[in-house]
Structure 1
Amino acid sequence: MTSVTVRGVWRDEVPEGNLDARLLDGFTGAIGQSRVEQAAGDVIAVTGLGDRERATAAGLRLSASAAARRIAAALPQHPEAAVSVALTVDAESFASTVDPDAALAAVADGLLAGGYRFRMTGARTFVSDAVPVASGELSGVPGWRRGSALGAAVNTARDLVNLPAAALTPADFARWAKESLEPHGVGVAVRDAEELVANGYGGIIAVGQGADNPPRLLELTVGDASPEYAFVGKGVTFDTGGLSLKSSDALMDMKSDMAGAAAVVAAFALLPALAPGRSFAAVVPLVENMPGPGATRPGDVVTLRDGSTLEILNTDFEGRIILADALARAAELHPRAIVDIASLTYASRHALGDEYAALVSNDDALAAEVVAAGDRSGDRAWRMPLQPELEYQIRSDLADYKNFPGVPHARVSTAALLLSRFVGDIPWAHLDITGPCYRHASDAFGAAGGTGYGVRLLAELVRGA
């Protein structure tokens, strides 16, 4: 077993003027830069930390990710190949003005993120791991333990997003959630299609009725009191667009349309230990959106959980349909606040790219909390307007609402405006994660595929409350 020491280097530690090996290699100490060196028989993965005076926990996490990614990318990719490398950490090299406990948490999290590897071994089987870390004495440090747990939860969300739809139907997802979360002390209730029909979840049924794999609804609980937060995660395990069929290119990544659900479920595994004695809830609709014989037709009208009616004009705008039912259910739980997380609109990615989620909220204080949690965690969000003056774009002539605005403008806002109608007066925040939830190609910080976006943000939101 080869031991590789991960060592951080600040920008001011790279000498200027002297053409040493690092400078010849273009290494300046910037975040995202990494290289492998050998000194006195030791293998060292050097990673840039950026400017010391501007250090943040999120930056340290990225730096650790870059080092681990450098090593992971060099290992054999065959799933049965033995990993003969273990990482150790020069913890002192990461020291800065960042709180030491938070710094260790960030490094532990980052090593797991950068070292993550995923490979399918069959139609429904896979191997997922991360480059091993020999933590030694660090394993007893609270920050290290917290960061390791967070990194593992993020990688769990990535596993779920990376699984092909044939390996993760709504029933598979629900079964996995129950088996994984109940040992952590999370209450898990699974509602099947028959229960959804009987209890008025017309939106979830409408989206799922074209598929051979029927929908499910997950309800998660931690604690016995009224929840501080009710989280809602969009779980479309595959989205063809239904009868409003997507293009062949657009279909390629549609296994990832349940990234919001993956983030909520993975984060819930952390909550009993992260926030003992506190109460939280989650509502997670799980569907396949398929163009089968029973599929909803454009123009159909359905009755939603709260009794309102919705005209479905475009079946590829399915996320807001299932979220309407889920948000209505979340509001019935009377939480202090509701946060939903969903890969909802291409418009959010067009506006903000792959690094920021679009945030829309009906409450300034909650929006500020979400933005701050995103900044601290590295799962960044940018607030966009709710725009009530666009009400005409969600109103139908035949029903209370319609799911398709009819114009290509302000689609982040119009989607959120429709969702806002199902939370009542409860403070609510909507995170559109279409950009940051999926990495279309590997980069300096991690492998291609699901990113686990949202797990860190939700965990930090709870920690900071």
Structure 2
Amino acid sequence: MDKPIRVTIVGVWQESLDSFPSDAWFVDGFGARIGETRVEAGTDGSILYVGLGSAMEPSLGAIRRAGMAAGRKLVESLPRVIRADSLVKPVVATSSFHTEQLPTPTVLSAVAEGLSYGGYRFRLLPDLEQSSLTPTYTVDDRVTGHDLTAWNTGLLVGSAVNTARSLVNMPPSLLTPEAFAQRMISLVTGSAIQVRVRDEDELTAEGFGGILAVGRGSHYAPKLLELRYGNGNPDLAMVGKGVTFDSGGLSLKQPDALMTMKSDMSGAAAVCAAFSILPTVAPDRSFVGIIPLVENMPGARAIRPGDVVELRSGHTIEILNTDFEGRVILADALTRAAEFFPRAILDMASLTYAATHALGDNLAALVTNDDAFSSLIEAAAAASGDGVWRMPLQPDLAFQIASDIADFSNFPGSRSARVSSAALLLSQFVPAGTQWGHVDMCGPSWRDHVSRWGTSGGTGYGVRLIIELAQRLGQPPAVP
């Protein structure tokens, strides 16, 4: 092939179908429904049409999904080991996505995010940069000013989402706690983000007993990654669960469950990827990121059911099930986050199967201690497309986190209300008066199968939610 094939990506509203003279639109049933695609030969390369649904009821979410579908259609037939830009040159006909009902800059940003997501491919090759597998999308010279800025911001956010996906998709033997920390350092080098990595000796000296206990069974020592941007007390402290592989420890998981346990650091991936672009998308704010990084393995030094651990907070916790490790490391991380005296704390974690059983694969469970903060998170979730559903914080479940020999237990005993009981335990490490939200993202953080919206594996869930929330902090609540 002498040069890449030009592919023009055109959005189609259902109301505009009649204006196209070709009957071919109807031969294969194409009706411009959201995410429907059709490829035709053009005078200069190919044309990829993607349905946008009805122009009478447009939404940014639908436009973003249409972009996902177009991106996925573009790359699904490409060889997985060849750089995308050597094969295709996608050019977006931005005017075709225009609607009078929505601001053009936000539309272009949504299109860019969607195309980045749908065009993502992951292949582990020693001589190939992962980012080169995703096409480079361009727009024509008529896109300028605020529209061009919004387009570029959409690409930046889409790239951050894909960064999180690649972290989740990495083989766990390559993405150890140390390797994860080093990747984050490389990601933010040259930016205004400050990074500190606490090693095992420092964690011991500083009393991070929960992180140390969970990481004891692994050959790879635990780390605590701390990120800082801005001055003064943080507007938001973010905590991300970073279990780079979760075998369950001595409470070993079933073989089928082990297959996707490299994804148990998806909360950490989301926090880190989002944090890396906060200086650009929320430059006037102050943020902290706390990411405990461990591998939960059944080694000779592994923590045992029945052991008691002293946490950073000074509390003790009885370990009855080593597969309930996430809440143990998050307890230390939340305590550390609170030491920065942030206005609010948000933790992101693939914590309980119960969240998936209750809400499926598309929604995360949200538990908060503050109605106003909950409303802010829910609004950010709705705008970003990273959906949440609020579930209750139930003080009456205190018996599920109680222990006869320690301050707390890490295992609820009962199968009921496990999302709420996990959140109740975490809430004990949040200072009174501090707004806090817990996002249990077990369901939407991973996809087992390819769909029209994107490939399988890590989804990058939470990156857009964090960015949207960071931008909304300090804004007055929307009027219903």
Q: Secondary structure, in 3 states, of the residue corresponding to 1:116?
A: coil
Q: Secondary structure at the match of 1:13?
A: helix
Q: Which AA in structure 2 matches 1:132?
A: T
Picking from 405, 412, 416, the partner of 1:405 is 412
Deviates more, 1:7-16 or 1:327-336: 7-16
Secondary structure, aligned partner of 1:327: helix
Q: Tell me the equivalent position of 2:110.
A: 106
Q: In the alignment, what sits opposite 2:477?
A: none
Specify the code of the residue in structure 2 equivalent to 1:93.
S
Q: CA deviation at 1:127?
A: 3.1
Q: What CA distance in whole angstroms lies between the structure 1 residues aligned with 2:309 and 2:187?
A: 34
Q: 2:366 aligns with which of 348, 351, 359?
A: 359
Alignment of 1:302-321 (within 5 A): 302-321=309-328
Equivalent residues of 2:94, 2:139 under 8 A apart: no
Query: What are the equivalent positions in structure 2 for 1:314-353 lying under 5 Å apart?
Result: 314-353=321-360
CA contact (8 A) 1:436 1:451 kept: yes
Per the alignment, residue 62 of structure 1 pairs with: 65
Displacement of 1:401: 0.5
- How many equivalent residue pairs? 463
Mapped pair 1:221 → 2:228: yes
| 2:6–2:44 Cα contact (<8 Å) kept | no
Render the CA deviation track for 1:286-342: whole Å, top value 9, x for unaligned.
000000000000110001110000001000011001001000111111101000000
CA distance in 2, matches of 1:439, 1:231: 24
Q: Is the 8 A contact 1:207 1:289 kept in 2?
A: yes
Is the CA contact (8 Å cut-off) linking 2:93 and 2:139 kept in structure 1? Answer: no
User: Secondary structure of 2:419's match?
Assistant: helix
Q: Which one-letter code corresponds to 1:429 in the other structure?
A: G
The corresponding residue for 1:135 is 139
CA distance in 2, matches of 1:325, 1:457: 24
**Corresponding residue SS for 1:54:** coil
Cα deviation, 1:405-444, whole Å, max 9, x if unaligned, reads: 0011111111111001100221100001111111111110
> In structure 2, what is the Cα distance between the partners aligned to 1:285 and 1:90?
44
Name the counterpart of 1:445. 453
2:5·2:45 contact (CA, 8 Å) conserved in 1? no
How far has the Cα of 1:254 moved from its partner?
0.6
Give the match for residue 435 of structure 1. 443
Aligned partner of 1:377 among 378, 384, 389: 384
Q: Which residue of the partner structure matches residue 424 of structure 1? A: 431
From the superposition, tell whether residues 105 and 201 of structure 1 become closer, same or farther in structure 2 (CA, over 3 Å). Answer: same
Percent identical across equivalent pairs? 52
In structure 1, C-alpha distance between the alignment counterparts of 2:245 and 2:14, rounded to whole Å: 44
Structure 1: runs of 5+ lacking an equivalent:
none
Distance of 1:176 and 1:14 partners within structure 2: 47
Q: Alignment partner for residue 31 of structure 1, among 30, 34, 42? A: 34
Say which SS state the counterpart of residue 154 (structure 1) adopts. Answer: helix
Label 1:151 to 1:170 Cα distance change in 2 as closer, same or farther (>3 A): same
Q: Given that residues 238 and 347 in structure 2 are in contact (C-alpha distance below 8 angstroms), is that contact kept between their aligned partners in structure 1? A: yes
- Of residues 243, 258, 262 in structure 2, which corresponds to 1:251? 258
Provide the TM-score with structure 2 as the length reference.
Answer: 0.93
- Matched with 1:415 is 422
Closer, same or farther: CA 405–276 of 1 in aligned 2, 3 Å: same
Q: Is the 8 A contact 1:182 1:188 kept in 2?
A: no
Residue 282 of structure 1 aligns with which residue?
Answer: 289
Alpha-carbon distance in 2 for matches of 1:20, 1:345: 51
- SS at 1:288 equivalent: strand
Cα distance in 2 for residues equivalent to 1:126 and 1:273: 24
Q: For residues 32-82 of structure 1, what are the alpha-carbon distances to aligned partners after superposition, in whole Å with 9 as ceiling and x for unaligned? A: 211212244541111111122322222211101101100110111224687
Aligned to 2:478: none
SS in 2 for 1:370: helix
Q: Distance in 1 between matches of 2:389 and 2:14?
A: 29
Any residues of structure 2 matched to 1:175-324 within 5 Å, and which? 175-324=182-331
Change (3 A) 1:444 1:463: same
Q: What residue identity is the alignment partner of 1:337?
A: A
C-alpha contact (below 8 Å) 1:187/1:220 kept by paired residues: yes
Following the alignment from structure 2 to structure 1, what is the Cα–Cα distance between the partners of residues 84 and 49?
25
Question: Over the residues paired in the alignment, what is the CA RMSD in angstroms?
Answer: 1.8
Match of 2:55 among 25, 41, 52: 52
Within the candidate set 436, 457, 463, 2:465 is matched to 457
Distance in 2 (alpha carbons) for counterparts of 1:40 and 1:146: 31
**How far apart are the structure 2 equivalents of 1:160 and 1:325?**
23
Q: Does 1:85 align with 2:116?
A: no
> Deviations 1:385-412 (Å, cap 9, x if unpaired)?
1111111101111101001100111111
Alpha-carbon offset, residue 125 of structure 1: 8.0
TM-score (norm 1): 0.96
Is the partner of 1:430 in helix, strand or coil? Answer: strand
CA contact (8 A) 1:118 1:126 kept: no
When structure 1 is superposed on structure 2, of 454-463 and 26-35 the one drifting more is 26-35
Q: Distance in 2 between matches of 1:448 and 1:71?
A: 16
Contact 2:364 2:388 in 1 (8 A): yes
Equivalent AA in structure 1 for residue 401 of structure 2: I
Stretch deviating more after TM superposition (187-196 or 44-53): 44-53
Counterpart-to-counterpart distance in 2, 1:77 and 1:47: 23
Query: What is the Cα deviation at residue 224 of structure 1?
Result: 1.5
Change (3 A) 1:270 1:139: farther
In the TM superposition, structure 1's runs of 4+ consecutive aligned residues that sit over 4 Å from their partners are: 79-82
Task: Check whether the contact 1:119–1:126 (CA below 8 A) recurs between aligned residues.
Answer: no
Unaligned runs of 5+ in 2: 474-480
Counterpart residue identity of residue 98, structure 2: A
CA distance in 2 between partners of 1:205 and 1:139 (Å)? 52
